Amino acid sequence: MSIEMKSAPLVAREIENLKKRCDSLKAKGVTPNMKVLLVGENKASLIYTRNKKRFCEKFGAECEIINLNENIKEDEFLNKVREISNREDVHGCFVQLPLPKHLQHIDCGALIAPEKDVDGFHDHNIGELFKGDPKSNGLMPCTPQGVVNLIEFYGHELSGKNVVIIGRSLIVGKPLSLLMLNKNATVTVCHSRTAHLQEHTKRADIVVSAVGRPRFLTSEYLSKDKNQILVDVGINHDADGKLCGDMDYENIKDLCAGITPVPGGVGPLTILSLAQNLLQAAENSL
Ligand code: GUN
User: Is 2 a domain residue?
Assistant: no
Cis before residue 263, ω within 30 degrees of 0?
A: yes
Catalytic residue among 35, 53, 96, 248: 96
Residues 93 and 169 in one domain: no
Q: Whose CA is nearest to atom 4 of ligand 1?
A: 97
State the pLDDT confidence band at 281, using cuts at 50, 70 and 90: very high
Distance CA 114, CA 136 (A): 13
**Residue 69 belongs to domain spanning:** 28-115
CA 63–ligand 1 middle distance (angstroms)? 16
Digit-coded pLDDT (tens) for 102-126: 999 999 989 999 999 999 999 999 9
Mean pLDDT of the chain: 97
Give ∠ CA 265-268-271 in degrees, rounded to 5: 150
List 151's β-bridge partners, or say none: none
CATH number of the domain bearing residue 246 = 3.40.50.720
| pLDDT score, position 104 | 97
Q: Is 103 among the domain residues?
A: yes
Whether cis (ω within 30° of 0) applies to the bond prior to 32 is no
Which residue of the set 119, 205, 232, 246 is catalytic? Answer: 119
Look at residue 279 and tell me if it is in a domain.
no
Give the number of the atom of ligand 1 that is nearest the alpha carbon of residue 95: 9
- Taking CA atoms only, the protein residue closest to ligand 1 atom 8 is 96
Same domain, 169 and 94: no
Label residue 145 exposed, middle or buried (CB < 10 Å: 0-12, 13-18, 19+): buried
Q: How far is the CA of 97 from the centre of ligand 1 (A)?
A: 5
* 75 and 171 inside one domain: no
Report how many domains make up the chain.
2
Tell me whether residue 52 is one of the annotated catalytic residues. Answer: yes
- In the chain, DSSP assigns E strands to 3-4, 33-39, 62-68, 92-95, 162-166, 186-190, 206-209, 229-232, 236-237, 243-244, 258-259
pLDDT (tens digit per residue) in 229-279? 999 999 999 999 999 999 999 999 999 999 999 999 999 999 999 999 999
